[in-house]
Amino acid sequence: MLSFLAPRLVRGQIQTRHPLAHLSRRSGLLSQPSRTLLPPTTATVRSPLPTRMSSNSSSPSPTSQTPPGASTPIFGPNTDAEALTRDLSAFLSTTPWRLSADRMGLERHFRFRTFKDTWAYMTTIAAHSQSARHHPEWTNVYSSLHVRWTTHAPRGLSAKDLAMARLCEAEAAKLGDKVVPVEQPAVAVGSSAEGMECGCGEAKREK
Ligand SMILES: C[C@H](O)[C@H](O)[C@H]1CNC2=NC(N)=NC(=O)C2=N1
């Protein structure tokens, strides 16, 4: 029985995770992942990128039908799909960033030591966003932050999203242990605070 094809129920949401995803996370051992026959879900897609990516659709719209390759990104028009696919694969296999469930965004969950650290990080990213004229979709609850990069117009994943996700990663790396390692949540929380572990209960009084 192909039990690994069965969706995993996490907090009432369906999660699709390639059974060998752990092999590909850093080792790159799984270069040709098999595709599941599952429709896109509201959960973060954790499968590594297939080698064949979606084309530059001018009207990307996730359908209710099973797509060929549920984890292929949906790029915006005028995107160099080949180059972006290559760069994305490298980025996703070396960082906690994930392709979002609608396949049009990159997202990562952060946890900081304190609210002050979180706020400072958001201020830094906000300033970069203003300069780059590309703005995040993000949700903050106390010291938790969920960041998603997608391009609204024209709709779809673009090189700008990857550039901003890289920038977020670089800024977080500068903060050292002010960024707390955290499992990426199975449930995408970009659209609401649901599922965000704020860490309030564990927090000591901030200065
Ligand atoms: C004119 C201005 O550059 C555009 O409206 C920008 C603003 N910030 C943006 N941010 C994001 N994430 N996607 C966009 O399409 C976008 N468009």
Q: How many CB atoms lie within 10 A of CB 167?
A: 17
pLDDT recorded at residue 113: 98
Cβ neighbours for 56, distance < 8 A, ≥ 6 positions apart? 75, 76, 77, 78, 79, 81, 156
Q: How much distance in Å is there from the Cα of 152 to the middle of ligand 1?
A: 6
72 closest CA partner among 91, 94, 93, 99 = 99
Question: Mean of the pLDDT values across residues 66-80?
Answer: 78
pLDDT recorded at residue 198: 62
Q: Is the CB of 151 under 6 A from ligand 1?
A: yes
pTM above 0.90? no
Which tokens in the block code for residue 8? Answer: 């995993």
Using DSSP's 3-state secondary structure scheme, residue 95 falls into coil
- C-alpha to C-alpha distance for 91 and 165, rounded to whole angstroms: 9
Q: Is the pLDDT of residue 129 over 70?
A: yes
Whether the CB-CB separation of 173 and 108 falls below 8 Å is answered with no
pLDDT in tens, 1-22: 333 333 333 343 434 444 334 3
pLDDT recorded at residue 205: 72
ipTM exceeding 0.95, yes/no:
yes
Which residue CA neighbors atom 2 of ligand 1 most closely? 133
pLDDT recorded at residue 184: 86
Which residue CA neighbors atom 4 of ligand 1 most closely? 133
Q: Is the pLDDT of residue 134 over 60?
A: yes
Q: How much distance in Å is there from the Cα of 89 to the middle of ligand 1?
A: 24
User: Is the bond preceding 154 in cis, omega lying within 30 degrees of 0?
Assistant: yes
Identify the structural domains of the chain with CATH numbers, from first to last.
Answer: 73-185 (3.30.1360.20)
Q: Is the CB of 132 under 6 A from ligand 1?
A: no
Phi and psi of 135, rounded to 5°? -120, 145
* 71 — pLDDT class (breaks 50, 70, 90): confident
The CA distances from residue 135 to 14, 36, 84, 151, in Å, are 28, 32, 19, 9
Whether the CB-CB separation of 92 and 25 falls below 8 Å is answered with no
- C-alpha to C-alpha distance for 61 and 84, rounded to whole angstroms: 20
Tell which wins on pLDDT, 118 or 41.
118
Question: Mean of the pLDDT values across residues 154-171?
Answer: 98
Cβ neighbours for 183, distance < 8 A, ≥ 6 positions apart? none
- C-alpha to C-alpha distance for 21 and 28, rounded to whole angstroms: 10
Tokens 């050292």, located at residue: 176
Ligand 1 atom index nearest CA of 164: 12
Which residue CA neighbors atom 9 of ligand 1 most closely? 134
Ligand 1 atom index nearest CA of 135: 10
pLDDT recorded at residue 166: 98
